[in-house]
Amino acid sequence: MKIIFLDFDGVLNTSAWQRHCVARGLPAEDGFGPVFDPEAVANLSQIITAVPDVGIVITSNWKWEGERKMRRLWRKRKLPGKLLGVTPDYVPNFDDKDYDEILKGHLPVGRGAEIRNWQEQNKATDCPYVIIDDILDFYPEQRPHYIETDPHVGITAEDVNKAIEILNTQG
């Protein structure tokens, strides 16, 4: 199995698409939240099509609505690929003296910790993976798997090629 750890805001939900919707009087939201940019979704679909046996794990803060709602969103919006689940929330208990260790990547914090936690819980630490996000919040060892999107446009054709390369060279 190969895994796409996927953020929504700045990846599928783009500022360009939201402005487009508002300017043309199109619905910018539905019962789940902001409507995703169709071009970004099509680009995600290209990754899904090009990489056999790939699944998606949601890392977005949208997951706070619950995994059940994320699965409904996936079905109702007819999003591409197989949804494997959502990363668990992980809030470490530390104090200010730990800040230097956090900066060095030695203490769990942020999405990097949530991804690592999901990989461990699902026995997927050796699976090829890519992280698609617009904010770098990951451990140093996760950074070669990271693709930073431009939040204005989300996943681009260039990002698609990088993701396919990362997923196919790992496994």
Provide the domain count of the chain.
1
For residue 15, what are the domain limits? 2-170
Question: Strands, E, within the chain: which ranges?
Answer: 2-6, 29-30, 33-34, 54-58, 82-86, 129-133, 146-148
For the domain that residue 6 is a member of, what is the CATH number?
3.40.50
Q: 43-76 pLDDT, tens per residue?
A: 999 999 999 899 999 999 999 999 999 999 999 9
pLDDT score recorded for residue 139: 85
pLDDT score recorded for residue 4: 98
pLDDT score recorded for residue 136: 86
What is the CB neighbour count within 10 angstroms for residue 125?
Answer: 10
Residue 92 has pLDDT above 60, yes or no: no
Residue 95 has pLDDT above 70, yes or no: no
Q: Of the ranges 59-63, 77-81, 98-102, 165-169, which one carries the lowest mean pLDDT score? A: 98-102
Residue 154 sits at the vertex; the CA angle it makes with 151 and 155, to the nearest 5 degrees, is 145
Tell me the C-alpha distance between 91 and 106, whole Å: 15
pTM score: 0.89
Q: 117-170 pLDDT, tens per residue?
A: 899 999 999 999 999 999 888 888 999 999 999 999 999 999 999 999 999 986
